[in-house]
């Protein structure tokens, strides 16, 4: 009997070391590896005559004109050379450090070689091709060959062998979550066929059939989960917050809210009056004032006698929200408590006691807030900043605790509307599409490091006019320290201090004590330093209206939306502001990102661009949404398949709402495994 849950360590040729590397790719069982799909394929099935080969990799079949000759070029480097001919021409074949091939490479034998031809005429050569003797079965050549997404240390050949072994291990038993009726209606391939052909396609047509089945299956499971989660939510009553409007709160502000802010708040308040649990996303570009909209909702709930929690993805951001909210809510006698990992045990105990007793009505903190031992007296609203850290899983976790608070999510990375509707269906969206008055477009430039001299003069000029400057350097991971092309914040600050004598330069980075960092940040906010060099800590939102220049070093290291967020730190005051992206990157993807940023200030357009460039697999990965990552489906290009998957999911759930029928057992188990949707929650 097949064992899909068998540990891959026990497959021939894997062993502990490679098993550990595979685990990094999320692969630890036979089931995982057969679901670890190739990223692309190489068609090594068609033979090309040597003379006809272009610059693309080709498959040639050629006879060796001589025995291979071995030479040592320099210490530790061995070169194996042989000449091969076919009817059309000849080619020199070279292998580096593969002297073990020498025995095989004897005059007169015929091989299939897969590789790229370089050079021209008599100099044509192929370096380190894949090869197989012509008489042996096609494994690495002569067929369509998978190419797997890999980490360092794992070779394609190893992956192919391991996938083949795992497929064999499965025998006739493969993951199959589709009810038979659905597979039949949709005319989908059988699982055994699909898994074999997705790894080792017999033909282009077979690959198509395999992909169609697996994509549909993935989207079908996804659609079922969304329907179940949606159904759960629809069923849940939410606390009724009687508050009719937020005028009283707005009246206490030093400025007036924008129309878009008022609208978003009115929509949220209407949700919370309805008796059903709110599930609302507030989308607004960086600087559009989402915090204020959230504060108005928190005010409404707290002043109606209920408790709220505000969650942020990082401690620094939690701290900042805590300060902002303390100020905004003080006029109403609402005093938030802060709950973060770096507090002392005593501080935490006090905060927890206040929440449990109901003495405190608002908690601000990191994820710890909804997990573990935090008890609330009457939690009615959870606000989270940045939707990508809070997903359906957390919702489910809360409801399993018997809580069904209203949920308000704030995000600056807008999901394109069509996709949001398809994905969430019932998630309501408020868009803050209006910036507070006085914001200006930030002029953005991408430059190479040869521009540095002029950039330094520009810094001096702006500081001379009384402005301040942010400089952001990429964070450096321990294992990247060898890469000298990366600037660390500290090093760069030293460089700037030498290049710009007379300017007051400070440097903050992630390894500093929070107290020291805060002190330096505060000094910058007060205008006591001219240039603040930092790692991305500024991303999470210091507000310095006097800052007019944002310089981002090694800009290709940042994602598009992160760059946009960083740029949002300037252009907040009355001064003309600039963003300079410094990058020597040549690769087209990086260039495209930087150019997109220069072209537009519109976060929504950038998000769509980001989606187009990165692909939704990334965009909608579990990291962002708490949803499982898509292995093979692509929510953008497979939108029509998603639609039929949703229809089929609807049919199946209408017929068997609790998935209790035997033919739906595998599906029910899969939902439980992927989405924490337990059977009890489904009733």
State the residues that interact with ligand ADP by CB under 6 A.
Answer: 255, 257-258, 261, 284, 286-292, 412, 436, 541, 543
- Residue 137 CB, nearest approach to ligand ADP (Å): 60
3-state secondary structure 389-442: HCCHHHHHHHHHCCCCCEEEEEECCCCCHHHHHHHHCCCEEEEECCCCCCCCCC
Instruction: Kindly tell me which of 255 and 332 has the beta carbon lying closer to ligand ADP.
Output: 255
- Residue 412 CB, nearest approach to ligand ADP (Å): 6
By the 8 A CB rule, do 277 and 406 touch? yes
Q: Under 8 Å CB-to-CB from 224, ≥6 apart: which residues? A: 649, 652, 653, 667, 671
Cβ atoms within 10 Å of 163's Cβ, excluding its own: 23
* Helix pair 603-614, 588-599: axis angle to 10 deg: 170
Q: Under 8 Å CB-to-CB from 403, ≥6 apart: which residues? A: 376, 379
- Which tokens hold the place of 450? 């040869």
- Residue 112 CB, nearest approach to ligand ADP (Å): 58
Instruction: Kindly tell me which of 211 and 569 has the beta carbon lying closer to ligand ADP.
Output: 569
* Helix pair 489-499, 452-464: axis angle to 10 deg: 70
Q: C-alpha 532: how far from its chain's center?
A: 28
Instruction: Kindly tell me which of 89 and 541 has the beta carbon lying closer to ligand ADP.
Output: 541
The backbone region for 659, taken as left when phi is positive above 0, alpha when psi lies in -120 to 50, beta otherwise, is left
- Residue 264 CB, nearest approach to ligand ADP (Å): 11
Closest by CA to 427, choosing from 259, 282, 308, is 282
Instruction: Kindly tell me which of 89 and 289 has the beta carbon lying closer to ligand ADP.
Output: 289
Instruction: Kindly tell me which of 82 and 362 has the beta carbon lying closer to ligand ADP.
Output: 362
Interatomic CA distance for residues 581 and 86, integer angstroms: 52
Residues paired with 307 in a beta bridge: 379
Interatomic CA distance for residues 330 and 336, integer angstroms: 9
Instruction: Kindly tell me which of 412 and 549 has the beta carbon lying closer to ligand ADP.
Output: 412
Q: Closest residue (Cβ) to ligand ADP?
A: 289
> 528 vs 366, 521, 543, 548, 578, CA distance in Å?
31, 10, 15, 15, 21
- Residue 526 CB, nearest approach to ligand ADP (Å): 16
- Residue 355 CB, nearest approach to ligand ADP (Å): 25
Cβ atoms within 10 Å of 445's Cβ, excluding its own: 15
The backbone region for 65, taken as left when phi is positive above 0, alpha when psi lies in -120 to 50, beta otherwise, is alpha
- Residue 255 CB, nearest approach to ligand ADP (Å): 4
Phi and psi, residue 376, nearest 5°: -115, 155
By the 8 A CB rule, do 468 and 531 touch? yes
Instruction: Kindly tell me which of 265 and 642 has the beta carbon lying closer to ligand ADP.
Output: 265
- Residue 289 CB, nearest approach to ligand ADP (Å): 3
- Residue 138 CB, nearest approach to ligand ADP (Å): 56
The sign of the CA dihedral 441, 577, 253, 429 is positive
Q: How many CA within 13 A on the CB side of residue 207? A: 18
Instruction: Kindly tell me which of 129 and 284 has the beta carbon lying closer to ligand ADP.
Output: 284
Instruction: Kindly tell me which of 543 and 595 has the beta carbon lying closer to ligand ADP.
Output: 543
Interatomic CA distance for residues 626 and 623, integer angstroms: 6
- Residue 579 CB, nearest approach to ligand ADP (Å): 16
Instruction: Kindly tell me which of 179 and 541 has the beta carbon lying closer to ligand ADP.
Output: 541
Interatomic CA distance for residues 236 and 234, integer angstroms: 6
Instruction: Kindly tell me which of 287 and 616 has the beta carbon lying closer to ligand ADP.
Output: 287
3 state SS of 187: coil
Interatomic CA distance for residues 16 and 13, integer angstroms: 10
Closest by CA to 648, choosing from 235, 216, 233, 230, is 216
3-state secondary structure 446-510: EECHHHHHHHHHHHHHHHHCCCEEEEECCCCCHHHCCCCCCCCHHHHHHHHHHHCCCCCEEEECC
- Residue 316 CB, nearest approach to ligand ADP (Å): 13
Instruction: Kindly tell me which of 199 and 290 has the beta carbon lying closer to ligand ADP.
Output: 290
- Residue 543 CB, nearest approach to ligand ADP (Å): 4
- Residue 324 CB, nearest approach to ligand ADP (Å): 7
Instruction: Kindly tell me which of 291 and 361 has the beta carbon lying closer to ligand ADP.
Output: 291
- Residue 282 CB, nearest approach to ligand ADP (Å): 9
Sheet order of strands, 443-447 included = 443-447, 578-582, 547-552, 468-472, 531-534, 505-508
Instruction: Kindly tell me which of 133 and 438 has the beta carbon lying closer to ligand ADP.
Output: 438
């Amino acid at each position: 009997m097949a064992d899909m849950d068998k540990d891959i360590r026990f497959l021939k040729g894997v062993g502990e070391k490679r098993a550990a590397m595979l685990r990094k790719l999320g692969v630890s069982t036979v089931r995982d590896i057969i679901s670890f799909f190739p990223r692309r394929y190489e068609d090594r099935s068609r033979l090309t005559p040597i003379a006809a080969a272009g610059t693309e990799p080709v498959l040639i079949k050629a006879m060796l004109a001589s025995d291979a000759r071995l030479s040592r070029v320099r210490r530790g480097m061995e070169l194996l050379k042989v000449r091969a001919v076919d009817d059309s021409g000849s080619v020199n074949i070279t292998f580096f450090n593969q002297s073990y091939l020498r025995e095989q490479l004897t005059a007169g034998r015929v091989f299939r070689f897969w590789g790229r031809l370089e050079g021209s005429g008599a100099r044509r050569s192929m370096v380190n091709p894949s090869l197989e003797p012509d008489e042996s079965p096609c494994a690495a050549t002569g067929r369509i060959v998978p190419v797997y997404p890999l980490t360092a240390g794992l070779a394609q050949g190893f992956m192919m062998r391991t996938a083949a072994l795992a497929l064999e291990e499965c025998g006739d038993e493969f993951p199959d979550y589709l009810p038979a009726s659905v597979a039949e209606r949709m005319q989908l391939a059988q699982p055994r066929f699909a898994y074999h052909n997705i790894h080792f396609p017999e033909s282009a047509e077979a690959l198509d059939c395999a992909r169609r089945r697996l994509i549909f299956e993935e989207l079908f499971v996804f659609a079922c989960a969304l329907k179940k989660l949606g159904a759960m939510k629809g069923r849940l009553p939410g606390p009724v917050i009687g508050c009719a409007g937020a005028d009283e709160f707005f009246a206490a502000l030093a400025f007036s809210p924008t129309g878009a802010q008022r609208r978003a708040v009115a929509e949220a308040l209407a949700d919370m009056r309805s008796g059903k649990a709110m599930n609302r996303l507030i989308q607004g570009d960086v600087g559009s004032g989402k915090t204020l909209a959230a504060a108005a909702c928190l005010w409404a709930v707290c002043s109606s006698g209920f408790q709220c929690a505000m969650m942020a993805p990082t401690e620094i951001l939690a701290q900042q929200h805590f300060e902002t909210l303390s100020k905004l809510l003080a006029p109403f006698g609402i005093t938030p408590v802060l709950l973060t990992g770096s507090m002392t045990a005593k501080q935490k105990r006090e905060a927890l006691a206040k929440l449990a007793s109901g003495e405190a009505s608002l908690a601000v903190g990191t994820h710890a807030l909804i997990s573990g031992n935090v008890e609330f007296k009457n939690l009615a609203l959870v606000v989270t900043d940045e939707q990508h850290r809070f997903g359906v899983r957390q919702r489910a976790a809360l409801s399993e605790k018997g809580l069904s608070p209203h949920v308000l999510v704030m995000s600056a990375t807008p999901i394109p509307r069509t996709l949001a509707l398809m994905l969430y269906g019932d998630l309501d969206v408020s868009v803050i599409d209006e910036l507070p008055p006085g914001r200006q477009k930030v002029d953005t430039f991408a430059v190479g490091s040869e521009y540095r001299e002029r950039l330094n003069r520009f810094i001096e000029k702006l500081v001379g006019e009384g402005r301040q400057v942010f400089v952001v350097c990429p964070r450096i991971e321990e294992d990247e320290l060898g890469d000298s092309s990366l600037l660390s914040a500290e090093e760069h600050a030293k460089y700037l201090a030498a290049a710009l004598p007379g300017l007051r330069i400070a440097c903050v980075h992630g390894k500093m004590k929070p107290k020291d960092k805060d002190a330096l940040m505060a000094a910058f906010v007060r205008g006591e330093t001219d240039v603040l060099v930092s790692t991305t800590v500024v991303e999470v939102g210091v507000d310095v209206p006097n800052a007019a220049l944002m310089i981002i070093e090694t800009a290709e290291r940042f994602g598009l939306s992160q760059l946009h967020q960083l740029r949002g730190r300037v252009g907040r005051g009355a001064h003309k502001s600039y963003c300079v992206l410094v990058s020597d990157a040549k690769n087209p993807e990086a260039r495209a990102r930087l150019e997109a940023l220069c072209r537009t200030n519109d976060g929504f357009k950038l998000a769509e661009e980001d989606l187009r460039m990165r692909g939704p697999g990334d965009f909608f990965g579990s990291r962002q949404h708490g949803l499982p990552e898509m292995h093979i489906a692509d929510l953008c290009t497979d939108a029509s398949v998603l639609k039929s998957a949703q229809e089929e999911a609807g049919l199946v759930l209408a017929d068997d709402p609790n998935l209790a029928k035997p033919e739906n057992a595998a599906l029910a188990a899969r939902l439980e495994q992927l989405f924490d949707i337990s059977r009890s929650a489904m009733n």
